[in-house]
Amino acid sequence: MSIESAAAKPAESPETYAPRDFIRQIVREDLTRGKHAAIRTRFPPEPNGYLHIGHAKAICLDFGIAREFGGWCNLRLDDTNPGKEDPEFVEGIKDDVRWLGYEWHDLRHASDYFEVFYRAALKLIEDGHAYVDDLTAEQLREYRGTLTEPGRHSPFRDRSVEENLDLFRRMRAGEFADGSKTLRARIDMGSGNINLRDPAIYRIRKVTHQNTGDAWPIYPMYDYAHCLSDALEGITHSLCTLEFEDHRPLYDWFVDNVDLPNHPELWQHMREAGFRTEPAKPRQIEFSRLNLSYSITSKRKLAQLVNEGLVDGWDDPRMNTLRGLRRRGFTPGGIRLLIERLGVSKQNSVIDYAIFENCVREDLDASAARRMAVIDPLKLVITNLPEGHEETLSFSNHPKDESFGTRQVPFSREVWIERDDFAEVPPKGFHRLKPDGEVRLRGVGIVKCEHIVKGADGSVTEVHGTLDLESRSGMPGAERKVKGTIHWVSAKHGVAADIRLYDRLFNVATPDDESDGKRWTDHINPEAKRIVRGWLEPAAAQAAPEQRYQFERLGYFVADRLDHRADAPVFNRTVTLRDTWARQAG
């Protein structure tokens, strides 16, 4: 898969943006032909982990298409694997979907349909389409064959319908040990599609389920439950990523042979529970996944990062889980913009992470108010202002949008500036503060460096300078030109804050590629998290949790949703103002 570094389409406003892709074209044609009265989709995650950026594409597609065409989308938790699933993940999934800006028509669980699945399995047995197998898991793999060799029939494949019904009912009653028997579909062990080589339908697992408790000692396999859930819910367009393309013939086989629309006895008991949807055969359409450079989207590996303490939890801002991205300050609008610009196709590719960051920058540039903060402080003393001098200056909250209004910023004789805004021996082209040099202090006037103070180790601890009083706002010299402008925070009024400087979790574009002999965890970026003690103007410290700002000249930051308080501010860097990785690569 190639890395796409310039895939962005021209920006369009939400009012004018009208996605056009092959899936939407199919939906339009189906509606035009009268194939469906309404569009019904679903987003069906397994609740065995938190959602990540890859899921965002499916969410935007499933819910977005339903919204665009006046239909509805269910949120369905495909909870067929107890022991690895957790109610905590269910709540996290619901929270993430809402955060992205979507609401579901119905909240469903595959476990809502366990009785239907069981009855459907009995029907498949009665029709000669399923049998109980005693092969062990190892034997099943051996009998299944390979990509180049056909599978072999199980010695238990020709059991009678009566024997299979008896054994399956006894499996349901809990008579047999875990893993001792499986119910398999009788399809074609010689098929070139391995998914059709008598796949398992049910396995014995005496594990408590988070929704059904200990009611079931057997659980349906994902492929069986997934497609029948779609059919039960009357889903018109079942949207899946490309890895499920080879599963489609199996899904169609299950749906056709169970034939829910013509066998209401399998599901009419659900009417008593308020289920009103008429079953139908869904059309499955596959699309490419969202893969980002410098990222992983394997749930197993994301869980490994958490379990081995390599990150600070599922919502660590270095993680590309939706919870982590949210805590880092990435916006739902920025994520949706990425999905819109990438479009929908069947071609797998890896998208340059810089495209994602640029979408977030674009969204934040319009939506984030401006504030001043200093993250590597150096004191500047303005010696021609009297001791104790302080005043209040008016600053715009957003230079491009007057509707954001203004704020009052305190100014005093001593201010904090960024350490790299001063150079005792300036490099060529340096246009900030230097000995005998001048710079504009944002919103104040022009300051000239007159003197520096050093500590015992020779490092600069203070810079002393004078303010050209004629260069202040409204004075004749205010228009005098100098090449540099720097920001500041009043030392007297500034609020100390913990500033967490986050960056990409991995320092290589393809951390999963272990061809260099290193493990994927060896590519964790040691600079992905740094914590510094900085200073904020008072208005920034008063931010609500999750409030986002552009800290002028530094980047976009967010008040941490858990740890931030007005009296003890904590801000996370979302993204820098510009792409620093491109410069490193160059």
Could you count the other beta carbons within 10 Å of the beta carbon of residue 96? 23
Nearest Cα to Cα of residue 320 among 287, 291, 346, 340: 291
User: Could you state, in order of their start, the residue ranges of all structural domains in the chain?
Assistant: 370-493
Is 289 a catalytic site residue? yes
d(CA 190, CA 433): 77
Looking at the DSSP bridge assignments, the partners of residue 548 are 558
Query: Which of 40, 42, 46, 500 is flagged as catalytic?
Result: 46
Query: Which of 42, 108, 299, 529 is flagged as catalytic?
Result: 299
Element (H, E) at 183: strand 182-185
What is the pTM for the complete model shown?
0.91
Specify the pLDDT at position 482: 93
Query: What are the backbone dihedrals phi and psi of residue 340, each rounded to the nearest 5 degrees, phi first?
Result: -60, -45
| 282, burial (CB in 10 Å: exposed 0-12, middle 13-18, buried 19+) | buried
d(CA 14, CA 232): 34
Helix pair 114-126, 222-232: axis angle to 10 deg: 110
d(CA 61, CA 77): 17
Angle at 449 (CA atoms; ends 448, 452), nearest 5 degrees:
165
Is 370 a catalytic site residue? no
| 272, burial (CB in 10 Å: exposed 0-12, middle 13-18, buried 19+) | exposed
Q: Which fold has domain 370-493?
A: Ribosomal Protein L25; Chain P (2.40.240)
CA atoms within 13 A on the CB side of 439: 26
Element (H, E) at 161: helix 161-173
Nearest Cα to Cα of residue 41 among 19, 25, 61, 21: 61
Binding-site residues from annotation for L-glutamine:
78, 222
Looking at the DSSP bridge assignments, the partners of residue 233 are none
* Distances in whole angstroms, Cα of residue 17 to Cα of each of 11, 13, 68: 9, 6, 11
Specify the pLDDT at position 514: 85
Binding-site residues from annotation for ATP:
46-48, 52-58, 241, 289-290
Residue 148: partners with Cβ closer than 8 Å, 6 or more residues away: none
Nearest Cα to Cα of residue 391 among 260, 519, 492, 477: 492
Residue type, 421: D
Query: Which of 289, 407, 472, 553 is flagged as catalytic?
Result: 289
For the chain, residues with pLDDT lower than 70 are 1-19, 581-586
Helix (H, G, I), strand (E, B) or coil at 422: strand
Nearest Cα to Cα of residue 153 among 183, 188, 127: 188
d(CA 455, CA 450): 17
- Tens digit of pLDDT for each residue in 367-378? 999 999 999 999
- Give yes or no for a contact between 539 and 407, defined as CB atoms under 8 angstroms apart: yes
Binding-site residues from annotation:
46-48, 52-58, 78, 222, 241, 289-290
Specify the pLDDT at position 584: 58
- Give yes or no for a contact between 171 and 132, defined as CB atoms under 8 angstroms apart: yes
DSSP string spanning 65-83?
HHHHTT-EEEEEE----TT
Query: What are the backbone dihedrals phi and psi of residue 192, each rounded to the nearest 5 degrees, phi first?
Result: -70, -20
d(CA 202, CA 183): 5
- Tens digit of pLDDT for each residue in 215-264? 999 999 999 999 999 999 999 999 999 999 999 999 999 999 999 999 99
